[in-house]
Amino acid sequence: MILHKTVLLQEALHYLDVRANEHYIDATLGGGGHTESILGRNAPRGKVAAFELDEETIERTKERLRRFGDRLTILHDTFRHIAAASKIISPVSGILYDLGLSTDLIKSSKRGFSFLQDEPLDMRFGIGKRETAAQIVNTLPEQKLADLIYRYGEERYSKRIARAIVLRRQKEKFATTGDLVSVIERSVPPPYRRGKIHCATRTFQALRIAVNDELGTLEKSLADAVPLLKVGGVIVVISFHSLEDRIVKVFFRTLHQVGRAEILTKKPVTASAQEIDSNPNARSAKLRALKVLVPIL
């Protein structure tokens, strides 16, 4: 589970090539680290439209960035609906996605994003109509649950974990993260349980991705984002696990192969040793950038 801080900041700004009076979209506002830096560079008339689903995060970040006034517009929405930004700013010179999970969301939401705290097993980024993680583990058939954990978590013991979950819920439904962690720990081999990565990490990742349809949202958002960019505009994506990075890589390659865009990062950009020393979670970050060459409608 990623306790997120702003990562690859200078690298992101380099590829975005932020310029005075031009407009940008931050698809993932979070604590506002990237947004703040963009607004510091596109003054005096440049604007940023930023997406954030969590209400508490919006309030905290809005207060911190209040000094930028109407140059910043925060949309209380998921970046699945990134096309809505076209009603606020145009033309758009750059779009940034930082797909890391916000530290504030983990620590203060009390929605069960971390297995290190015993909280309600929710995992929704914003309170809405989507199923919670508890509903999934309490109702999904065993094979589908195993498939979900394997597909989204790349968990080698997905079948064991799914079986243990089903056996437990027949006696007592899951309500908290602690309930789930204890079952996972008992279902995997001792060496795996004592491994470098906590044995619940991949299952929690899988459930969070499923609850929020993270991969489907990313695919749709990328497709809708590129047409918002003017010619020469850049899209930058910072991902934190292989499933996200694969989607970005394939999407960028497809546009490049048909001559509509140029890939600016032949290989993904990763954090420096110095940044990893100060923020170990930056180790898994990968940045890819793409420049639009022709209008894409």
Q: Is residue 68 domain-shared with residue 199, that is, in the same domain?
A: no
Residue 127 has pLDDT above 80, yes or no: no
| Domain containing residue 149: CATH number | 1.10.150.170
Q: Is residue 57 domain-shared with residue 200, that is, in the same domain?
A: no
pLDDT at 281: 81
Q: Is residue 173 domain-shared with residue 219, that is, in the same domain?
A: no
Count of domains observed in the chain: 2
110 pLDDT tier (thresholds 50, 70, 90): confident
Q: Is the pTM of this model over 0.85?
A: yes
Least confident piece of the model among 30-34, 254-258, 287-291: 30-34
What is the average pLDDT across 163-169? 98
Q: Would residue 234 be called left, alpha or beta, if left means φ above 0 and alpha means ψ between -120 and 50 degrees?
A: beta
Q: Is residue 164 domain-shared with residue 282, that is, in the same domain?
A: no
Q: Is residue 83 domain-shared with residue 229, that is, in the same domain?
A: yes
pLDDT at 4: 52
> Is 239 within the bounds of a domain?
yes
95 pLDDT tier (thresholds 50, 70, 90): very high
pLDDT at 1: 38
What is the average pLDDT across 7-27? 97
pLDDT at 56: 86
> Is 109 within the bounds of a domain?
no
- 22 versus 116: which is more confidently predicted? 22
105 pLDDT tier (thresholds 50, 70, 90): low
> Is 123 within the bounds of a domain?
no
Whether 229 and 95 have beta carbons less than 8 Å apart is answered as yes
Q: Is residue 179 domain-shared with residue 43, that is, in the same domain?
A: no
Residue 192 has pLDDT above 50, yes or no: yes
Report residue 29 CA to chain centroid gap: 11
> Is 171 within the bounds of a domain?
yes
| Domain containing residue 262: CATH number | 3.40.50.150
What is the average pLDDT across 190-213? 95
> Is 116 within the bounds of a domain?
no
What is the average pLDDT across 63-69? 96
> Is 113 within the bounds of a domain?
no
Q: Is residue 28 domain-shared with residue 98, that is, in the same domain?
A: yes
The range of the structural domain enclosing residue 264 comes to 9-104+214-292
Q: Of 185, 212, 239, at which residue does a domain stop?
A: 212
103 pLDDT tier (thresholds 50, 70, 90): low
Residue 3 has pLDDT above 60, yes or no: no
Residue 111 has pLDDT above 90, yes or no: no
2 pLDDT tier (thresholds 50, 70, 90): very low
Whether 274 and 268 have beta carbons less than 8 Å apart is answered as no
Q: Is residue 99 domain-shared with residue 238, that is, in the same domain?
A: yes
